[in-house]
Chains A and B, each alone.
Chain A
């Protein structure tokens, strides 16, 4: 299954969107954590520093600068260098103890840069930030205690990195899940689409498969199927009505015809009666023929392609052409045929013969002799084109779409024989063959072209091609 098809699915987009939302959520969550942690860190640092100062002042022997300096040195020895930074000045401003730069020797909160402790240093000159608090000592002197913010920075950095990684991972997983769901949904929808395509091709008994994607989708499929059942029922009813009408009207007409036929050969010859009976029979035949044509068009329109076989269209056209040659000759009209050999289509040979025959009869009927009629069939790419051109009055452009309707006749053709079903049949047959009827101007006259898909040639498998 091609990737763009999957990424284009609603399921894929939805899952991706969810993934993005999750990732965004992770970012927001971490930002909140970060703020909270930073705030906590700041407070805990302040508390640590304040309580260290209190501790030093309270527990130093004598409580003066000298005592504190001694205690500081003692603590530095016990705790190591990284816990607290100190600076102790005597009442005379002389440095008594400490490892902070002398510039940090001021009262109140401040920040100084010191070289980072060797064990956490990533490069030689890395500096660590230290927050310091300086307080005047009782009896003179200054005590400055500081604590590194380096660990908190490290923590925040780690937190951000973890967030980015987690967010990325979530997004990646979401994309994977989206892809899988998209593919699954697509394959199920494809099965439904394939079934729908078969139904459109005329297999009206086909139904959509259950999608297996949850109750709502199955309900949709079931509803569509119920709709098809209903449509099918209606069509069946319509067909039944047509067949009933056909039966109920044709049977008495046939009997009427039979009686007329019997009356003809009954008893003594009676020219007057026979002429009347003949005329009546001709009328009945005409009604029956119209009826048959109408039913036939309906059958073609509602028909499927089950009976389709490979047909040599060239042979069919040639056969029809030869059938009409003496007719054209008798009428004294020029009739030419150009048949490209061996054009193959998939179809119903009999219907295709009728299609060509109807096109010719339409041309003959509307082109008074000696007006020329030209029949041809040729290949145009993947299509076969049957064309019948006449030198008659043609059809005005705005009426061309209408002449394929049943019983539609141009005003000036009211007097020509025929019921106006010929082109409707051509159209129905063309459409059954997935083709179309195109009417255009022959200047003067009409060109009727029927464009049909050609049967794809069976390719002999190349030896290098994979099986």
Chain B
């Protein structure tokens, strides 16, 4: 994908899934360390050499949830993505409250996992939060809630603005449909309707049409990406 390798620690006790994760993530160009035990994972993560942690909620030795809580208590801020087979009602909130940054319910599409890991690993540090996002000649001001391309102001509806904001925050990365549903609409379920597609086509009509170069791309079978260099 042309992106620098991400160092990932995976805590997963089930050998099948662990092997599948290692193989898939390595193929995607990442460096993967596998761990079967929560305590081991805790000590490895404590060293702070990883860009992102993938943690199964249920792991022997130390429960995944507890491990992340302990890490946060120890001041380790490495982004954490929880994996779970449960998908219960309160599980997501519980995971986020424990200090997790994202949450993925098994089964998941691999593209989904990779997209989320990229988003987590390349998240800008909190200190340098920008208020204006820029992709090519497209500008989005998060404070004034305005969008302009090539100096021309573009009017977006609130949800369209949020969608474009999320895309631009992850410029150059693939953003999946589920990630958009979760972050733009706070929908943590799977609607059968093509909500994302309908909104996306409107944004495209406003942002890309009549400006020559199309910034928003559809990545088949994966999601969307906004990129000025493509």
Tell me, rounded to whole Å, the shortest Cβ–Cβ distance linking B96 to chain A.
Answer: 12
Whether a CB of chain A sits under 8 angstroms from the CB of B211 is no
A319 B186 Cβ-Cβ under 8 A: yes
Q: How large is the interface on B (under 10, 10 to 19, 20 to 34, 35 or more residues)?
A: 35 or more
Minimum CB–CB distance from B180 to chain A (whole Å) comes to 11
In A150-194, the 8 Å CB interface with B consists of: none
**Nearest opposing residue in chain A for B111, CB measure:** A261
User: Known contacts being A254-B106, A323-B159, is A303 close to B89, with CB within 8 Å?
Assistant: yes
Tell me if A246 and B85 are in contact (CB < 8 A): yes
Report whether over half of chain A's contact residues are helix, strand or loop; otherwise say mixed.
Answer: helix
Residue of B nearest to A329 (CB): B198
Question: Within the complex, which residue of B20, B185, B192 is in contact with A323, where a contact is CB–CB below 8 Å?
Answer: B185
A348 to B92, CA, bound (A): 12
B87 engages A292 (CB within 8 Å): yes
**A84 interfacial by beta-carbon distance below 8 Å:** no
A300: Cβ under 8 A from any B Cβ: yes
Contact of B189 with A264 in the complex, beta carbons under 8 Å: no
Is A324 a contact of B193 with CB atoms below 8 Å?
yes
Asked if residues B186 and A357 are in contact (CB atoms below 8 Å), the reply is no
How many positions in chain A have a CB within 8 Å of any CB in the partner chain? Answer: 46
Contact of A279 with B by CB under 8 A:
no
CB pair B195–A324 under 8 Å, yes or no, is: yes
Q: Contact check, B192 vs A319: say whether CB atoms are below 8 A apart.
A: no
Contacts A324-B193, A324-B195; A251 near B107 (Cβ below 8 A): yes
Given A349-B186, A351-B89, A353-B187: A258 touches B110 (CB 8 Å cut-off) = yes
Say whether A255 contacts B20, CB under 8 Å.
Answer: yes
A350 pairs with B85, CB closer than 8 A: no
Q: Is B75 an interface residue (CB 8 A)?
A: no
B 129-169 binary contact with A (CB < 8 Å = 1; else 0): 00000000000000000000000000001110000000000
Nearest residue in B to A364 (C-beta to C-beta)?
B193
Q: Is B43 an interface residue (CB 8 A)?
A: no
Number of A-B contacts (CB under 8 A): 103
What residues of B have a CB within 8 angstroms of the CB of A357 in the complex? 187, 189, 191
> Which residue on A lies nearest to B85, using beta carbons?
A247
Given contacts A264-B221, A299-B89, A250 and B192 within 8 Å (CB-CB): no
Chain B, range 182-206, C-beta contacts under 8 Å to A: 185-195, 198-199, 201-202
* A432, closest chain B residue (CB): B89
Chain B residues in 8 Å Cβ range of A329: 198
B189 and A327 contacting across the interface, CB-CB below 8 Å = no
Residues of A within 8 A of B20 (CB): 255, 258
Shortest beta-carbon distance from A204 to chain B in Å = 15
The residues of B that contact A296 with a CB separation of less than 8 Å are: 87, 189
- Complex Cα distance, B106 from A354, in Å, reads 20
Are A261 and B110 CB-contacts (below 8 A) given A300-B89, A327-B195? yes
User: Is B16 in contact with chain A by the CB < 8 A criterion?
Assistant: yes
Query: Which of these, A251, A289, A303, A327, contacts B193 with CB under 8 Å?
Result: A327
Per-position 1/0 for A321-343, Cβ under 8 A of B? 01110110110000000000000
Q: Which of B16, B157, B190 contacts A292 (CB 8 A)?
A: B190
Residue numbers in A under 8 Å from B172 (CB-CB) = none
Would you give the 0/1 interface string for A344-372, flagging 1 where the beta carbon is closer than 8 Å to chain B?
A: 00001111011001001100100000000
Q: Residues of B contacting A319 with CB < 8 Å?
A: 159, 185-186
What are the residues of chain B within 8 A of A354 when measuring CB–CB?
A: 187, 189
Binary contact track A92-115/B, C-beta < 8 Å → 1, others 0: 000000000000000000000000
Chain B residues, CB < 8 A from A289: 190
In contact, A350 and B87 (Cβ under 8 angstroms): no
A112 to chain B, nearest CB (A): 100
On chain A, the residues within 8 Å of B86 by CB distance are 243
Q: Is B159's CB under 8 angstroms from A243's CB?
A: no
Which chain A residue lies CB-closest to B192?
Answer: A361
- Do residues B87 and A322 form an inter-chain contact, with CB atoms below 8 A? no
CB pair A306–B90 under 8 Å, yes or no, is: yes
By a CB distance below 8 angstroms, the chain B residues around A278 are: 221
A418 close to B (CB within 8 Å): yes
Chain A: CB-nearest residue to B21: A258
Beta-carbon nearest neighbor of B105 in chain A: A292
Which chain B residues lie closer than 8 Å to A62 at the CB level? none
A residues in contact with B190, CB < 8 Å: 289, 292
In the bound complex, residues from chain A placing their C-beta under 8 Å from that of B202 are 326
The answer to whether residues A361 and B193 also contact, given A254-B106, A257-B107, A323-B185 and a CB cut-off of 8 A, is yes
Bound-state CA distance A289–B108 (Å) is 11
Instruction: Indicate if A295 sits at the interface (CB-CB under 8 A).
Output: yes
Given A246-B85, A350-B187, list of 8 further CB < 8 A pairs? A251-B14, A254-B108, A261-B221, A295-B87, A307-B90, A327-B193, A350-B188, A350-B189
**A–B Cβ pairs within 8 angstroms, 5 of them:** A264-B221, A289-B190, A326-B198, A326-B202, A350-B92
